Structure 1
Amino acid sequence: MKTQNKKSLFEIKLDELRANKEKVYALVQQQASDSETITYYKQQAKEFGEIDLEILDTEEVDETAYLLSNPNNAKALEESIQEIEQKETIRYKLLELRKRIGNKGIVNKYLVKSTFWDSEFEGLDLEKDKGYIISRIAERGTDIEVSFIISYYSKEDVLFVVNNAPEITPKTKNYFNTIVYENED
């Protein structure tokens, strides 16, 4: 069951701006009674900054409509909406990217550069270089790195690499077999 997240400040502001924009469109359509006038106002409303509300003969035009009647205000409001939409789009793209790649972005946070002193640290890929990363951390890694690989990779992958790597000592293999099974509880 999905839970709805609270709206961000950007989303709230964007909703308010869109609601104000729709009020203006509704006002334009209310005041236009015949089809020719509706067509005229639709053409005027194609671009948000081109709405000319001073033509309307009404006292119902609220503060939002007044602000929007000035092309400079309308343009500024449109730019504000676009800026908010761009920020939200970027935010959602980053969230989607984070979901898609999983914990790959954590490499530099949990892995110590000195453990991989003889290789290109920034070029490591958690999936492609899985065996290399696990064996290197098993032989020289810190406790943080060890707990990272145990939590990131499956227990079977970690134990397979550790038990089959010729450079890892029997003592280290025994240590890994012990801690991997301790973490099951």
Structure 2
Amino acid sequence: MDSKNTSGFTRRGLLGAFAATAVAAAPTYSNAAGFLRGAGDIRRIAMHSGRTGERLDTIYWIEGEYIGEAIREINLHMRDWRTGEAVQMDLRTIDIMSAARNLMETDEPYLLLSGYRSPQTNTMLRSSNRGVARNSLHMRGQAADLRLTSRSTTQMANAALACRAGGVGRYGRSNFVHMDCGPVRSWRG
């Protein structure tokens, strides 16, 4: 991962980058894979945690470079809130989340239900929920469970599936979508 902090960018350059995203058309489902390969100059993620009350809205990629400080903030935000433990989240998962959000053409931040999960937390959750995988990608920092109030789980799952970049689980009864950077597959929970 290349990291670059914003000190290498001018204020004018950053403002120009923001302006460019405001006027650029959102990608369509048909070109989602192109977006993930870096067709966009800017990648942004916005989410909040109902458990901690924390909010995050950050640009984490500009012109082919991940921004180290923004990635560290994302890692902290997506930590296991039960243990406080944070890991390096897989950037492919963050890219899928960002691309899916762009495809849905929404400015609403994701509600993060689960990002990284420590082995202890995963074991505890497995003991009360048979839907929790023994070797969950959450424990590797490669998955996120997300919700949007402005989009249905079907819309969210379809956007993530359009990326063709990982696993997508639709949990309609619990009103969330699982996105990960593992093998391409889908399921309903």
Does the alignment reach a TM-score above 0.5? no
TM-score by length of 2: 0.23
Larger radius of gyration: 1
Per residue, is there more helix in 1 or in 2?
1
Bigger relative contact order, structure 1 or 2, given CA contacts below 8 A and separation 6+?
2
